[in-house]
Chain A
Amino acid sequence: MRSLAGWFALLCAAALLAACGTPSRPDPAAAPAGVPAGTTWDSMKGLPDWHGAWTKPEPLDQGPFVACCIAGSTTVPLTPKFLAIRDQAARSIQKGVGVSNNIVTCQPDGVPSNLLHGLAHQYLFTPGLVVMLLEDGEVRRIHTDGRAHPPLGTLHTSVEGDSIGHWEGGTLVVDTVGMSTEANLFLTNGMKVGRDTHVVERIALRDKDTLRIETTITDPEIFSAPYTYALLYTRLLREEDFDIGCSQSNRDNDQTLDLTPPPEDD
């Protein structure tokens, strides 16, 4: 028979549960009217559920991955100048000589290449700012407070560029300019972004655990027409499998591999 203390504890717990309610999912209907989504704590109630981390499903053979390594491919509308750069890099890779890129030496890859890895990324929502954490240690700040890009002449360029965004329902539309010319375009094919490279991303859930990112890149020097590709990312819920950093076991020395075994008890 339950003791008096036991009944008291049960009643307290019930009261607490009633006060706290059950955990709720983001509800677009709960966002206050007239306030741009994501710009205030209240308006964040309507944002989609992107918790966890996002990593790409198989196969990794879409769009930019084909473009990066196949000489003669016409998948990507490159200008003649950049077709030549791409083909030279592809021939080099076929011969076993890799084309250097940033992340081989744990340098940031930048926009747009940093979402083309097999690495994971994670989103943090705060009022007026969406932060993207990438597994290689890169951080992208996407300002959703309604600001415009600074004039390019005054912009402090970085490999991540300047990102502004807004919500269209459950879709985050991100506009990025101002990447430094150290940022990679497509992984390991030797192509860097240009000063006029403009990246627009549309990020939205395709289903509960699949995120679709459609990317359009424009740069008249590199592309003969805007290039659009879409990739799917799978939700990763085991937080211990999402790590941030690049130096824990990076044995790649650009063209070769360090095969010194670790201590046996490591």
Chain B
Amino acid sequence: MPHSRKLPAVLASGALALTASSGARAHHSFAMFDSTQCKAIAGTVRNFQWTFPHSWIWLNVPGRNGTVQVWGFEGEPPSDLSRQGWKKNTLQKGDKVNLHYNPLRDGRMGGAFSSALLPDGTLLMAIRGKGDACAEIVKPAAR
């Protein structure tokens, strides 16, 4: 059963630094992401790449003075996401979404996404390792 539920509330915003043991993810070094931090961001979908070895969510995010920033978020491969209820057309260009993610340690505009709140209120999870800060904040509905 996919990890998804309707959410009436707005997800927590801001950076939350949690002390957590280092977890392992997927198939390569995720050291470039800070798994002890979980951040939230709202934006408009620019691209949703249902690709291997990683899916990608690209968001247009309002910046200062009317500018638009492009943020990139790496995710699990389709074979993993599909078990969480994701599909190739889950996100469409122009959708407004809220993501929770582990930020890049180098401070650039991106990270590894852990969950997405869709326009219809559905919350879709992505696979996280034990100790991931986002796993402590956004929890799937009990089965």
Is B95 in contact with chain A by the CB < 8 A criterion?
no
* Contacting residue for A135 out of B24, B52, B72, B83, CB 8 A: B52
- Asked whether A135 lies within 8 Å of B79 as measured between CB atoms, the reply is yes
> Given that A60-B127, A256-B106 are contacting pairs, would A53 and B27 also be in contact in the complex, using a CB cutoff of 8 Å?
no
Q: Give the shortest distance, in Å, between A220 (CB) and chain B (any CB).
A: 26
Task: Tell me the nearest residue of chain B to A94, going by C-beta.
Answer: B22
Mark each residue of chain A from 246 to 264: 1 if its CB lies under 8 Å from any CB of chain B, else 0. Answer: 1011111011110101101
How many inter-chain contacts with C-beta < 8 Å in the A-B complex? 163
**How many chain A residues touch the partner (CB < 8 A)?**
60
* B-chain residues with CB within 8 Å of residue A61 when the two chains form the complex: 23-24, 129-131
- How far apart sit A178 and B105, CA to CA, in the bound complex (Å)? 39
- How far apart sit A115 and B104, CA to CA, in the bound complex (Å)? 27
* Contacting residue for A262 out of B23, B53, B58, CB 8 A: B58
* A-chain residues with CB within 8 Å of residue B11 when the two chains form the complex: none
- Asked whether B31 lies within 8 Å of A236 as measured between CB atoms, the reply is no
* Contacting residue for B80 out of A55, A93, A97, A99, CB 8 A: A55
- How far apart sit A251 and B77, CA to CA, in the bound complex (Å)? 13
Is B15 in contact with chain A by the CB < 8 A criterion?
no
A-B pairs with beta carbons under 8 Å apart, 10 shown: A53-B79, A60-B24, A97-B31, A99-B29, A118-B25, A120-B77, A188-B29, A236-B82, A261-B72, A262-B47
B-side residues, CB < 8 A to A, are 21-32, 34, 46-47, 49, 51-56, 58, 70, 72, 74, 76-83, 88, 93, 104-106, 108-110, 127-131
Closest A-B pairs by Cβ, 10 of them? A98-B29, A61-B130, A117-B27, A98-B31, A249-B51, A65-B24, A120-B79, A243-B52, A241-B82, A118-B26
A-side residues, CB < 8 A to B, are 53, 55-61, 65-66, 68-70, 90, 92-94, 96-101, 103-104, 106, 109, 116-120, 135-136, 187-188, 234, 236, 238, 240-246, 248-252, 254-257, 259, 261-262, 264, 266
